[in-house]
Amino acid sequence: MSIASVLDEGVSTGPVAPARRRRSRSHWILVGPGLVYLILLFVVPVGALLATSLYVPVPGGDIGQYQPALHWQNYVHALSQFWPVMLRSFWFALVATVAALVIGYPMAYAIAVRARGRTLLQGMLLVLVVAPFFTSFILRTIAWKQILADDSLVVSILHWLNLLPEDARLTATPFAVVCGLTYNFLPFMVLPIFAGLERLDARMLEAGADLYAAPITTFRTVTWPLSLPGVVAGTLLVFIPAVGDYVNATLLGNNTNTTMIGQVIDARFFKVLDYPTAAALSVVLMAAIMLLVTVYIRRAGTEELL
Amino acid sequence: MTSTADGATALVEDATDTGAALEIRRVSKVFGDFVAVDDLSLTVPSGSFFALLGPSGCGKTTTLRMVAGLEQPTSGTIAIGGRDLTGTRAHQRPVNTVFQSYALFPHLSVGENVAFGLRRQGKSEIARRVAEGLDLVELAHLADRRPAQLSGGQQQRVALARALVNRPSVLLLDEPLGALDLKLRRQMQLELKRIQTEVGLTFIHVTHDQEEAMTMADTVAVMNHGRIEQMGTPAELYELPRTAFVANFLGQSNLVPGTVVERTRTGLLAVDVAGTRILVPEGRSVRSSGDVLVGVRPEKLRLLVGEQEPSSTENLLGPGTVTDVSFTGVSTQYQVEVPGLGTFGVFAQNLLGGSMVEPGAQVRLAWSADFTFALDGADAPDEGTLDLDDEP
């Protein structure tokens, strides 16, 4: 029930009004804690972020000293300097999302549809999907550094197959960063798609076959459209955190052609103490993601997710 | 409903060649240790409305799924329209199914659901065919709705239209009315029969509801334990069951054990039932010697009260005690306990209104020898009597 309808019921009059007022009070009691939490930990910080993004340095003050202002130039300055990094972040996140979808969909399909009815197998496979979360995100990312290191098996094999030039390496490349992003966010792709496919009625597939659709056609015309809500949820859960990620870019990239916007915000805030620029970049990132996600959900025809 | 008539005519014209026969030859299906279908052979003539009737687990649905190509037989062959299609997959067979759960595609409109099979086959004039199909089930006005917005009965008809528009050689119906309430089910039975007559396709209808099978089908095959017990028109099966299972599963029967003692010159078998001589036409007995089960349907029985005497062509049992009288409007059902033989059910039409006797009355049972049948004495008299109305 939305807040609007809660308010509607609160102000309505007539013979049933007292009962409604009581009900509306219980609505507020139920909504209250979440609302307080959101206001304190979301609305207030976002307001502070917006305000900070417009601050100016204190004249004659130390580094890191700013005062309130409405200096919109901060945005122009931040974007003109960092738009290539911003663009690269979205690009890396997009490639990682597509890769996670290509890898994750078959996994989810295998667990949900192929292993259907074999509860033990399904459970074990799901544990395998989630198992990486049992160890630290940082540790796993560092492990990828070793997997892709110059003396690693992967690089040796690629050299031997002549797929990688003799002097080329994998670490500190966009490839390594995208690999890390894909790997780290893969479970967020697999789980929603699994949940969607799990609900898929096997009789739908039989109906498809019965109506002259070969297996591949049944997949295209029945399975895929019915799994779209899961796919949309999965792609969002991978894309949104991937855009703002800086751990993979730092540990697996750390090169001028791998810098992501998260690294810039981190550096501006903690190293350069340039709070307004960091805040302006954060606001732009947030707005851009919201815009993209809205357009994406509209296009995918899954408005019920909004 | 002029549009309905037009749509139906078009479907009929196109269907004349495609209503081909189904031939199942010595098919078995084994799941692990369980024999679902046991050496089953069956021929369904073109254009007929055929029912596979039996309790759950009798193999009727497995048989249907093997015809659809959703299961492959362990052995035996399945030919549709004279072509052996054993081993081919579901999408390669000229067969369509109306599923028990309808299995409509929730992401497609009603019209797109109906168009699905036509599109896959690359048919032309899809819009016209879909409109005809929906006309036939009287749902043309709902073509743009989603299945979830329809009632159960409407969904059922969409499922039927979705299968019918493809004009399959064989249309399979898997308990299609099972999810509907009783009144709607009766209405849909008549409608299905009307549609089948109009389009002239071969319908194979799987059901556990004997009344449904008898109302709609021209031929009924009664299945039990993966085999066909008996096959025939509903009237044949009812009037002359050949096994105790059929006698009890289709309607009710009074079955009592006896021994054949004599073959008369008039083509009758004389059977000794607990000391009473019962006559059975020889053609209505499964065996002509040894132990038999003598049977008669409840509505063929007549209650004789007091000094009333049977006619010379009637069999007579009793006396017995009336233990129960239930008035059902059209008829009255009596339970009569005959010592040494068990309880007999008697249905009497209320021609003169009300019941003739009260519980506790002493009566004798008479019925025409022509309506008596005799089964193999090795059959269990109560086989097939379980109440199966509440199964899915």
Higher pLDDT, residue A255 or B257:
B257
In this complex, which of B103, B116, B117 lies closest to A206 when CB atoms are compared? B103
- State the number of CA atoms in the 13 A half-sphere of A298 facing the CB: 6
| Interatomic CA distance for residues B119 and B166, integer angstroms | 10
Mean pLDDT of A282-298: 92
What is d(CA A251, CA A150) in angstroms, rounded to the nearest whole number? 15
Mean pLDDT to the nearest integer, B207-231: 92
Query: B116 touching A, CB under 8 A?
Result: yes
pLDDT value of position B336: 94
Collapse the DSSP code of A209 into the 3-class scheme (helix H, G, I; strand E, B; otherwise coil) and give the result.
helix
Chain B residues within 8 A of A213 when measuring between CB atoms: 91, 116, 120
B101 lies within 8 A of chain A by CB: yes
Q: Contact B298/B280 with Cβ under 8 angstroms? A: no
Instruction: Read off the pLDDT of each residue in B322-344 and give the average, rounded to a whole number.
Output: 91
Calculate what percentage of chain B has a pLDDT beyond 70. 92
pLDDT in tens, A143-200: 988 888 888 888 888 888 888 887 788 888 899 999 999 999 999 999 999 999 998 9
Region B346-356: mean pLDDT is 78
Higher pLDDT, A133 or A106: A106
Contacts of A222 in chain B (CB under 8 A): 105
Q: Does A300 touch chain B (CB under 8 A)?
A: no
Distance CA(B160)–CA(B171), nearest Å, equals: 9
Q: Choosing among B107, B108, B123, B130, which should be mutated to test the A contact, i.e. which has the most A CBs within 10 A?
A: B107
Q: Which residues of A touch B163 (CB under 8 A)?
A: 210
Closest by Cβ to A211, choosing from B96, B101, B107:
B96
Question: Tens of pLDDT along A28-38?
Answer: 889 989 999 99
At B340 the pLDDT is: 87
Q: What is the mean pLDDT of residues A52-71?
A: 87
Question: Is B207 within 8 Å of chain A by CB?
Answer: no
pLDDT in tens, B49-71: 999 999 988 999 999 999 999 99
The DSSP line for B299-354 is: GG-EEEETT----TTEEEEEEEEEEEEEE-SSEEEEEEEETTTEEEEEEEE-TTSS
Q: Measuring CA to CA, which residue among B253, B261, B275 is closest to residue B372? A: B253
Q: Which residue has the higher pLDDT, A277 or B350?
A: A277
Q: Alpha carbon A288 to chain centroid distance?
A: 13
Q: CA A174 to CA A151: how far, in whole Å?
A: 19
Residue A140, pLDDT above cutoff 50: yes
Higher pLDDT, B123 or A255: B123
Contact status, residue B357 vs residue B322, Cβ threshold 8 Å:
yes
Q: Which of A201, A203, A211 sits opposite B116 (nearest CB)?
A: A211
Name the residue among B70, B89, B103 with its Cβ closest to that of A204.
B103
For residue B291, list its beta bridge partners.
B259
> Which of B91, B104, B129 is most worth mutating to test chain A (most A CB atoms within 10 A of its CB)?
B91
The rounded distance, in Å, linking the Cα atoms of B79 and B81 is: 7
Residue with more model confidence, A9 or A275:
A275
The answer to whether A176 and A164 have CB atoms below 8 angstroms apart is no
Please give the torsion angle defined by the CA atoms of residues A173, A176, A182 and A184, in that order, rounded to the nearest 10 degrees.
-120
* pLDDT (0 to 100) of residue A63: 81
Q: Collect all residues of chain A within an 8 Å Cβ-Cβ radius of residue B115.
A: none
* DSSP reduced 3-state for B287: coil
Residue A117: per-residue pLDDT: 86
Tokens matching residue B329: 């409007």
Residue A301 near chain B (CB below 8 Å): no
Inspect the interface and report whether the beta carbons of A225 and B97 lie closer than 8 Å: no
Q: Provide the pLDDT for residue B229.
A: 93
DSSP alpha helix (H) spans, chain B: 2-15, 60-68, 110-120, 126-136, 152-164, 182-199, 210-216, 234-239, 244-249
- Residue A202, chain B, CB below 8 Å: the answer is no
Q: Would the CB atoms of B117 and A204 count as touching at under 8 Å?
A: no
Using the Cβ of A214 and the Cβ atoms of chain B, whether some distance falls under 8 Å is answered with: yes
Is residue B115 over pLDDT 90?
Answer: yes
For residues A239 and A188, give the distance between their C-alpha atoms in angstroms, rounded to a whole number. Answer: 10
Q: Would you say A205 and A224 are in contact if contact means Cβ atoms under 8 Å apart?
A: no
| Chain A residue numbers touching B104 (CB-CB < 8 A) | 207
Asked if pLDDT for residue A98 goes beyond 50, the answer is yes
Tell me which residue of B61, B97, B22, B156 sits closest to A211, measured CA to CA. Answer: B97
Split at pLDDT 50, 70, 90, the class of B48 is: very high
Place of tokens 């409903």: B1
Per-residue confidence band for B391, with pLDDT thresholds at 50, 70 and 90: very low
Sign of CA dihedral A184, A190, A193, A199: negative
In this structure, are strands B331-338 and B342-349 parallel, antiparallel, or unpaired?
A: antiparallel
What average pLDDT score do residues B163-181 get? 89
Q: What is the mean pLDDT of residues B233-262?
A: 93
Instruction: Work out the average pLDDT over A88-103.
Output: 96
- CA angle, corner B73, sides to B69 and B75, nearest 5? 145
Beta strands in A47-206 (DSSP E): 56-57, 66-67
In terms of residues, how long is chain A?
A: 306
| Closest CA relative to residue B164, chosen from B133, B191, B193 | B133
d(CA B170, CA B176): 15
pLDDT at B188 over 60: yes
A206 touching chain B per CB within 8 A: yes
Confidence of residue A6 (pLDDT cuts 50, 70, 90): very low
Query: What average pLDDT is seen over chain A?
Result: 87
3-state secondary structure of B391: coil
Q: With bands split at pLDDT 50, 70 and 90, how would you rate the model's confidence at B24?
A: very high
User: pLDDT tens-digit profile of A256-276?
Assistant: 888 899 999 999 999 888 999
- Determine what percent of chain B is predicted with pLDDT higher than 90: 63
Task: Give chain B's mean pLDDT.
Answer: 88
Question: For residue B158, what are its two tokens?
Answer: 């969409």
Residue of B nearest to A214 (CA): B91
Q: Tell if the CB–CB gap between B70 and A206 is shorter than 8 Å.
A: yes
**CA B269 to centroid of chain Cα atoms:** 30
Give yes or no for A79 touching B (CB within 8 A): no
Determine, for residues B105 and A222 on separate chains, whether the beta-carbon distance falls below 8 Å: yes
Residue type, A37: Y
- Which of B70, B91, B105 minimises the CB distance to A204? B105
pLDDT tens-digit series, residues B137-159 = 889 999 999 999 999 889 999 99
Is the per-residue pLDDT at B365 higher than 70? yes
* DSSP codes joined into one string, B128-150: HHHHHHHHHTT-GGGTTS-GGGS
Q: Do A226 and B107 touch (CB under 8 A)?
A: yes
Compare CB distances from B89 to A209, A211, A221 and report the shortest one's residue.
Answer: A209
Quote the CA–CA distance of A210 and B98 in Å, as a whole number: 10
Tokens at residue B118, please?
């036509």
| Spatial separation of the C-alpha atoms in residues B318 and B17, rounded to whole Å | 58
Percent of chain A surpassing pLDDT 90: 53
Instruction: Identify the band that residue B41 occupies on the pLDDT scale cut at 50, 70 and 90.
Output: very high
Are B15 and B167 in contact, with CB atoms under 8 Å apart? yes
Q: Report CA B333 to chain centroid distance, whole Å.
A: 24
Among A210, A302, A303, which would you mutate to test the B interface (most chain B Cβ atoms within 10 Å of its Cβ)?
A210
Instruction: Check pLDDT > 50 for residue A107.
Output: yes
Give the B window 323-342 contacts with A, CB below 8 Å. none
Contact B213, B51 (CB under 8 A): yes
B99: tokens are 């599923």
pLDDT tens digit sequence for B6-23 = 444 444 444 344 444 799
Confidence label for A101 from pLDDT (cuts 50, 70 and 90):
very high
Residues B345, B333 contacting (CB under 8 angstroms): yes
Model confidence, pTM: 0.79
pLDDT at residue A303, as a whole number: 52
- pLDDT-derived band at A10, boundaries 50, 70, 90: very low
